[in-house]
Amino acid sequence: MKNFKLPELPYADNALEPVISSRTIAFHYSKHHQTYVNNLNNLIEGTEFENKSLEEIVLESDGGVFNNAAQVWNHTFYWESLKAPQNDNKPTGAIAKAIEENFGSFDQFKEAFSKAAATLFGSGWAWLTVKDNKLEIIQESNAGNPLKKGLTPLLTIDVWEHAYYLDYQNRRPDHINDFWSIVNWEKVEQRFLKA
Ligand code: MN
């Protein structure tokens, strides 16, 4: 059977500081993300899912298998969406143009995405997605993933408390505000161009 592995982080464990500390990485990546991988491997053994790709499992499963598969997918996508902090970090090229066309301006997009992330009740994710060149911001609770709705994910922020609590405690809006400095817009643009 297939055994899913925790993908390597695309940077050092302190690269996202001070927005995401190495201590948060030690728990969020090394413990939480790893646990979703372990749970998934245990749950699919001997089932119809054991030789399927992660994306197939996300699309075809529900319940505990879905929760763990989607959390593996979501976290890998999240880590790949980030980079070391940069001042005045903004999208360029095709994705910048699409954001302006869909939201009016980058600032208006940031405001709408930040609001979606801040107002998501409980645990979950805010996403920027695309379908037929139309960009959309959506909220998903728990392990929710836009692939289930036929949307292509471009960017996400994890707003489960485990994503920011060690660094920001209850101040989710402050974490969201600082998140903008670590978005890897080059990666987001690659995803947009492939969509
Ligand atoms: Mn998480």
Q: Tens digits of per-residue pLDDT, 47-69?
A: 999 999 999 999 999 999 999 99
Domain boundaries, the chain: 22-80, 93-194
Using 50, 70 and 90 to split pLDDT, how confident is the model at 1? Answer: low
12 pLDDT exceeds 80?
Answer: yes
Residue written as tokens 């080059």?
186
User: Which sign, positive or negative, has the C-alpha torsion 176, 179, 185, 188?
Assistant: negative
Reported pTM: 0.97
CATH number of 22-80: 1.10.287.990
> Both tokens of residue 104?
């009016």
| Residue carrying structure tokens 């929710």 | 144
Secondary structure (DSSP) of 138-162: EEEETT--GGGGTPEEEEEEE-SGG
Q: Which CATH architecture has domain 93-194?
A: 3-Layer(bab) Sandwich (3.55)
Ligand 1 ion: residues within 5 Å (CB): 158, 160, 163
Q: How far is the CA of 67 from the centre of ligand 1 (A)?
A: 12
In the predicted structure, residue 95 carries a pLDDT above the cut 80: yes
